[in-house]
């Protein structure tokens, strides 16, 4: 009589493991509502997607500047998205549409129906059909369950790496480790194509002009090229493009429109006038709570200071620091630090800020009545030697503001006077001055008889690329021509 319990041979253990793996894979597969494809989700079901979206939603809000404070615009975008979602294969899913308060041009979706669009993107759109195309595309990612599929791909990679170790009970840990990878990661080209096909389907069902999807992609590409030009990197448009995370081309969108095989409306909607009315007065560029860039001047009404960078430098405001660059590679970094109670400004520069390098030419200076200190050093980078000048300014008993000027050695002498002017341009703002700082806004302008694009562009608050900015903002092409009575978008103070 054989024993009731016996150790399995290695071959038998492998067979059992393979059978268990097959059962696991089958259990972790489901059908995507939008496409009808069977996808491997790694066990992330629709309820799990909702939970993941709910978990990540407040993090996204915080990371991208919060929700844009315009209830009317928020309601408009939400109603537009809800209409499109109602035509999808998940009409009963509660979608959440959010306008993010950031000038960054982007749109994306989280699992469970959380769709985001930035005011930076809304500023570029010419009509409601274009915005509907963006929202419909993101809804397509949700109904195709691309996040769950991506999670499954991560899971499959984990399984392949772990081998049959998952049978020891490590599957849950693998899932937990990979689940964060589904958030804000770029989709594959095939997934983007599916989202376009689904987006076209929803656009058509809602009665919108499906051509807006391809037209707006061209607008996004023109914006990326201009941003690269402004940054002095004309060959690096991809770095400024939403296409980094949305790999799409106009040809592929046109093919998606053809293959979607939708019945086109006899009189498809574009709704330009209603859309422009919704974004009239919308913030453009930075929110005043994060500081305001106006030409070459950066001002922070909340923290009450201002300074100006030299001509030829482009200012960039980030949550961590303010950056200014010129086309020759010189860089200005501006940030703040806590002020030690027991250190003078020169001691702070040498002992705390510059403690890892040798500080030369250390001296105490006065910056508009504020105690300050400056010193120099040189470092080696992968791009060669760089001269550094450190400037620390004691704003009050708790705060130090800092400039770090980085130049190539052959540039340093020529740039020294203008960088010194930047240091001494830093000053406190009075309450009245801070209150008077207004952000840039998007406004509608009706072209007058005889008025040219160049004349209108020169009135916008930019030092460079004025005409190019106006052209991209209004999808006017490289040789913008205007007609009397035409409504265009302009940027005003």
Here the CATH number for the domain that contains residue 459 is 3.10.350.10
Residues 211 and 83 in one domain: yes
CA atoms of 227 and 285, how far apart (whole Å): 13
pLDDT (average), residues 386-413: 97
Residues 150 and 68 in one domain: yes
Residues 265 and 310 in one domain: no
- Per-residue H/E/C for 47-109: HHHHHHHHHHHHHHHHHCCCECCCHHHHHHHHHHHHHHHHCCCCCCCCCEEEEECCCCCCEEE
Look at residue 166 in the predicted model and tell me its pLDDT. Answer: 36
Pairing of strands 96-100, 114-118: parallel
CB contact set of 110 (below 8 Å; sequence gap of 6+): 52, 53, 56, 57, 60, 116, 147, 183
| 27 located within any domain | no
pLDDT(5) > 50 = no
CA atoms of 409 and 390, how far apart (whole Å): 15
Look at residue 23 in the predicted model and tell me its pLDDT. Answer: 43
pLDDT (average), residues 252-279: 85
* Final residue of a structural domain among 226, 252, 279: 279
| 249 located within any domain | yes
pLDDT (average), residues 271-282: 97
Residues 324 and 380 in one domain: yes
Q: Which domain holds residue 352?
A: 288-436
Between 364 and 184, residue with greater pLDDT? 364
pLDDT(7) > 70 = no
Q: Place 415 in a pLDDT band, splitting at 50, 70 and 90.
A: very high
Structure token pair of residue 183: 């958030």
* Final residue of a structural domain among 239, 260, 279: 279
| 16 located within any domain | no
> How many DSSP H helices and E strands does the chain contain?
16, 19
Look at residue 169 in the predicted model and tell me its pLDDT. Answer: 36
CA atoms of 138 and 191, how far apart (whole Å): 11
CA atoms of 219 and 341, how far apart (whole Å): 52
Residues 54 and 179 in one domain: yes
CB atoms within 10 A of CB 331: 15
pLDDT (average), residues 249-261: 78
User: What is the separation, in whole angstroms, between the first and last Cα of the chain?
Assistant: 93
Report the range of poorest mean pLDDT among 40-54, 283-297, 323-337.
40-54
pLDDT(398) > 80 = yes
CA atoms of 137 and 368, how far apart (whole Å): 53
CA atoms of 75 and 368, how far apart (whole Å): 47
Nearest to 308 by CA among 198, 442, 427: 427
- The CA-atom distances, in angstroms, between 30 and each of 41, 88, 145, 185, 198 are 7, 18, 10, 22, 18
Q: Place 368 in a pLDDT band, splitting at 50, 70 and 90.
A: very high
Residues 431 and 446 in one domain: no
Maximum separation of any 2 CA atoms in the chain, in Å = 105
Instruction: Give residue 204's region: left, alpha or beta (phi > 0; psi -120 to 50).
Output: alpha
Contact 345, 407 (CB under 8 A): no
Look at residue 235 in the predicted model and tell me its pLDDT. Answer: 63
Residues found in the chain: 493
Look at residue 472 in the predicted model and tell me its pLDDT. Answer: 95
Q: Percent of the chain scored above 90 by pLDDT?
A: 55
Read off the pLDDT of residues 55-75 as tens digits, 9 standing for 90 and up.
Answer: 989 999 988 889 999 999 999
> What is the domain count for the chain?
3
Look at residue 38 in the predicted model and tell me its pLDDT. Answer: 61
Read off the pLDDT of residues 342-359 as tens digits, 9 standing for 90 and up.
Answer: 999 999 999 999 988 999
| 4 located within any domain | no
pLDDT(97) > 80 = yes
Residues 353 and 452 in one domain: no
* Final residue of a structural domain among 417, 436, 455: 436
Phi, psi of 325 (to 5 degrees): -135, 150
Residues 80 and 119 in one domain: yes
Report the range of poorest mean pLDDT among 88-92, 142-146, 215-219, 465-469.
142-146
Look at residue 11 in the predicted model and tell me its pLDDT. Answer: 52
Burial of 390 (0-12, 13-18, 19+ CB in 10 A): buried
Look at residue 300 in the predicted model and tell me its pLDDT. Answer: 96
CB contact set of 58 (below 8 Å; sequence gap of 6+): none
The per-residue DSSP string of 300-340 comes to ETTTTEEEEPPTT-EEEE-SS-EEEE-TTS-EEEEEEEEPP
CA atoms of 129 and 268, how far apart (whole Å): 9
Between 43 and 489, residue with greater pLDDT? 489
pLDDT (average), residues 272-300: 92
Looking at every residue in the chain, the average pLDDT score rounds to 84
Residues 263 and 293 in one domain: no
DSSP reduced 3-state for 18: helix
Contact 111, 52 (CB under 8 A): yes
Residues 249 and 201 in one domain: yes
Q: Place 239 in a pLDDT band, splitting at 50, 70 and 90.
A: low
| 131 located within any domain | yes
């Amino acid at each position: 009589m054989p024993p009731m319990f016996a150790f399995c041979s290695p071959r038998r253990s492998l067979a059992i493991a393979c059978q268990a793996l097959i059962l696991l894979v089958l259990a972790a597969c489901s059908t995507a509502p939008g496409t009808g494809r069977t996808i491997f989700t790694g066990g992330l079901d629709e309820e799990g997607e909702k939970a993941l979206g709910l978990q990540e939603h407040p993090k996204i809000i915080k990371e991208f500047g919060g929700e844009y404070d315009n209830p009317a615009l928020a309601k408009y975008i939400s109603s537009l998205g809800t209409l499109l979602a109602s035509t999808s294969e998940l009409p009963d899913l509660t979608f959440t549409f959010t306008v993010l308060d950031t000038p960054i041009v982007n749109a994306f979706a989280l699992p469970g129906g959380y769709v985001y669009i930035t005011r930076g993107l809304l500023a570029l759109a010419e009509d409601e059909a274009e915005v509907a195309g963006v929202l419909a595309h993101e809804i397509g990612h949700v109904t195709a369950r691309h996040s769950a599929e991506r999670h499954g791909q991560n899971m499959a990679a984990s399984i392949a790496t772990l081998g049959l170790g998952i049978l020891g009970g490590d599957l849950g840990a693998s899932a937990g480790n990979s689940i964060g990878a589904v958030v804000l990661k770029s989709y594959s080209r095939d997934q983007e194509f599916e989202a376009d096909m689904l987006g076209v389907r929803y656009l058509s069902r809602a009665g919108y002009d499906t051509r807006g999807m391809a037209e707006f992609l061209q607008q996004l590409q023109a914006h990326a090229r201009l941003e690269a030009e402004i940054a002095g990197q004309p060959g690096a448009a991809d770095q400024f493009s939403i296409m980094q995370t949305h790999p799409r081309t106009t040809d592929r969108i046109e093919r998606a429109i053809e293959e979607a095989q939708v019945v086109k409306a006899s009189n498809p909607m574009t709704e330009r006038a209603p859309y422009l009315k919704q974004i009239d007065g919308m913030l453009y560029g930075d929110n005043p709570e994060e500081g305001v860039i106006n030409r070459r001047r950066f001002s922070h009404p909340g923290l009450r200071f201002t300074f100006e960078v030299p001509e030829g430098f482009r200012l960039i405001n980030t949550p961590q620091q303010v950056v200014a660059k010129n086309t020759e590679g010189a860089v200005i970094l501006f940030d703040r630090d806590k002020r030690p109670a027991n250190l003078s400004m020169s001691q702070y520069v040498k002992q705390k800020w510059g403690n890892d390098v040798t500080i030369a030419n250390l001296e105490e200076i006065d910056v508009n009545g504020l105690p300050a200190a400056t010193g120099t050093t040189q470092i080696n980078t992968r791009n060669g030697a760089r001269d550094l000048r450190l400037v620390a300014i004691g704003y009050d008993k708790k705060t130090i503001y800092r400039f770090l000027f980085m130049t190539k050695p052959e540039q340093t002498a020529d740039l020294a006077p203008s960088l010194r002017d930047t240091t001494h341009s830093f000053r406190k703002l009075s309450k009245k001055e801070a209150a008077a700082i207004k952000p840039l806004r998007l406004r509608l302008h009706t072209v007058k008889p005889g008025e040219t694009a160049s004349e209108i562009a020169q009135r916008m608050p930019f030092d460079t690329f004025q005409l190019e900015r106006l052209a991209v903002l209004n999808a006017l092409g490289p040789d913008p021509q205007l007609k009397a009575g035409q409504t265009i978008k302009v940027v005003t103070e």
